[in-house]
C-alpha cells in the first residue's frame, strides 16, 4: 500500500506481536522473535504518545499534513495523536499488551528457558521443582550490551537460550568471561547454552549496532528508490521539525555515513542519527519541469525513531508542529 495511506493499524501491529509470540511457543525459531521485536519497537509504540494520553489508530509511514487534511481518501490518517476514538480498540489493546509484556520476554519448556526480548528485568522460574532467577541489566535497544546474572539455590543442569537478532552481524556471548563458540551452540537463531549453572554465573551478550540502510522487495512499488535507516532493532524517520519542509527533496549519497548519538535531552532519551544529505537548489521558480540539474546542496539530516514521530512539537519552543514525516 502507499506509504501515506497505508492503514497499518495499531491493533494489527499488536496482533502480529501476539501471533509471533504464539509461533515461538510452537516452534522456537529466531525469525518469529525478530518479527516480534521489530513490531513492538516500531509498530506498536508509535500508536501511543510518550505520556500515554494520546493515540494513533492508523500509523502512516509518510505524512503530508497539507494534503492529508483535505483528501477524502486520507480521512483515516491523523497527523497528530488524539485522546480517543469512536471505535476505541487501540488504546485498551496497547494497555493490555504493555501489562502483559513480561509474558513475551521468555518461554520455558522442560529444562530450557529462552529469552526472546531484551530489557532490564528480574524474572524467576520453577524448573523441576527448583527455582531459577535471572537478573538482566541493559540499556537495550539503544545499546547492545546485556548482562544476565543467574541466581540458583543449588547447582543445576539447565539450558539457557538467547535469541541472536537478525540485524546483528557479529554477536558475541561470554559466560563468566569466557567467550562462547557460537558456531557450536546457535540453532535456528538461538544460542542454546547447556551447563551446570551455579549461583552468581554471569552471561554477557554483545550485539554490536550499526546504522544500516534497509530496502524493500522490488515488488513493493511504492518504495522503489527508497531506503529506511535502521539502528539495531529501531527503524528511523525524518521529520520536518528537524529537517525543514519538502522532505521528498532530500536524498542520500551512496557513501553518506550516519552517526548514532544517545541524546538524554531528546524525547526522554533516544539515539538520534545525524548525517549528510542532499537537496536540489532553490531555482525552480514555480516551474513544474526542467532539465535534470546536477547541482545539489549538502544538508545536515537528523533522523529519530519512527515510533516517536509526532512528538517533536513537544520539544520545540517556536510553536511549530512536526509537519511532514517520511
Taking each continuous run of H as one helix and of E as one strand, the counts in the chain are 7, 17
pLDDT of residue 321: 58
pLDDT digits (tens, 9 = 90+) for 96-110: 999 999 999 999 998
Q: Is the bond preceding 141 in cis, omega lying within 30 degrees of 0?
A: yes
- The more confident residue out of 106 and 294 is 106
83: CB partners within 8 A, 6+ apart: 53, 54, 55
**Class of the 108-209 domain?**
mainly beta
Domain boundaries, given as residue ranges, for the chain: 1-100, 108-209, 211-315
Distance of CA 71 to the CA centre of its chain: 30
- Computed on alpha carbons and rounded to an integer, the radius of gyration of the chain in Å comes to 22
- Whether the Cβ atoms of residue 293 and residue 280 lie closer than 8 Å to each other: yes
Residue 223 burial (CB < 10 Å; 0-12/13-18/19+)? Answer: middle
pLDDT digits (tens, 9 = 90+) for 190-237: 999 999 999 999 999 999 999 999 999 999 999 999 999 999 999 999
Amino acid at each position: 500500500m502507499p506509504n501515506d495511506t497505508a492503514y497499518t493499524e495499531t491493533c494489527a501491529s499488536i496482533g502480529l506481536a501476539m501471533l509471533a509470540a504464539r509461533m515461538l511457543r510452537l516452534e522456537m525459531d529466531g525469525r518469529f522473535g525478530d518479527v516480534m521485536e521489530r513490531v513492538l519497537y516500531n509498530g506498536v509504540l508509535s500508536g501511543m504518545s510518550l505520556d500515554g494520553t494520546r493515540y494513533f489508530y492508523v500509523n502512516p509511514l509518510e505524512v503530508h499534513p497539507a494534503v492529508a487534511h483535505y483528501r477524502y481518501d486520507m480521512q483515516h490518517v491523523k497527523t497528530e495523536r488524539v485522546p480517543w476514538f469512536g471505535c476505541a480498540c487501540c488504546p485498551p489493546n496497547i494497555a493490555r499488551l504493555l501489562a502483559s509484556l513480561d509474558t513475551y520476554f521468555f518461554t520455558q519448556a522442560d529444562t530450557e528457558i529462552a529469552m526472546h526480548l531484551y530489557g532490564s528485568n528480574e524474572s524467576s522460574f520453577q524448573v523441576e521443582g527448583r527455582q531459577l532467577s535471572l537478573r538482566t541489566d541493559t540499556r537495550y535497544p539503544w545499546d547492545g550490551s546485556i548482562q544476565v546474572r543467574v541466581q540458583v539455590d543449588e547447582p543445576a543442569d539447565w539450558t539457557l537460550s538467547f535469541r541472536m537478532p537478525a540485524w546483528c552481524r557479529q554477536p558475541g556471548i561470554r559466560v563468566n568471561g569466557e567467550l562462547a563458540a557460537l558456531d557450536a551452540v546457535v540453532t535456528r537463531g538461538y544460542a542454546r547454552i547447556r551447563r551446570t549453572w551455579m549461583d552468581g554465573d554471569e552471561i554477557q551478550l554483545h550485539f554490536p549496532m550499526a546504522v544500516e540502510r534497509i530496502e524493500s522487495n522490488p515488488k513493493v512499488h511504492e518504495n522503489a528508490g527508497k531506503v529506511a535507516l535502521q539502528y539495531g532493532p529501531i527503524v528511523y524517520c525524518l521529520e520536518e521539525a528537524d529537517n525543514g519542509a519538502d522532505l521528498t527533496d532530500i536524498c542520500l549519497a551512496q557513501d553518506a555515513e550516519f552517526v548514532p548519538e544517545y541524546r538524554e535531552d531528546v524525547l526522554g532519551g533516544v539515539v538520534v542519527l545525524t548525517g549528510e544529505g542532499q537537496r536540489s537548489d532553490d531555482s525552480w521558480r514555480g516551474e513544474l519541469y526542467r532539465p535534470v540539474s546536477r547541482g545539489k546542496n549538502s544538508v545536515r539530516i537528523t533522523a529519530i525513531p519512527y515510533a516517536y514521530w509526532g512528538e517533536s512539537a513537544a520539544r520545540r519552543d517556536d510553536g511549530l508542529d512536526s509537519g511532514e514525516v517520511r
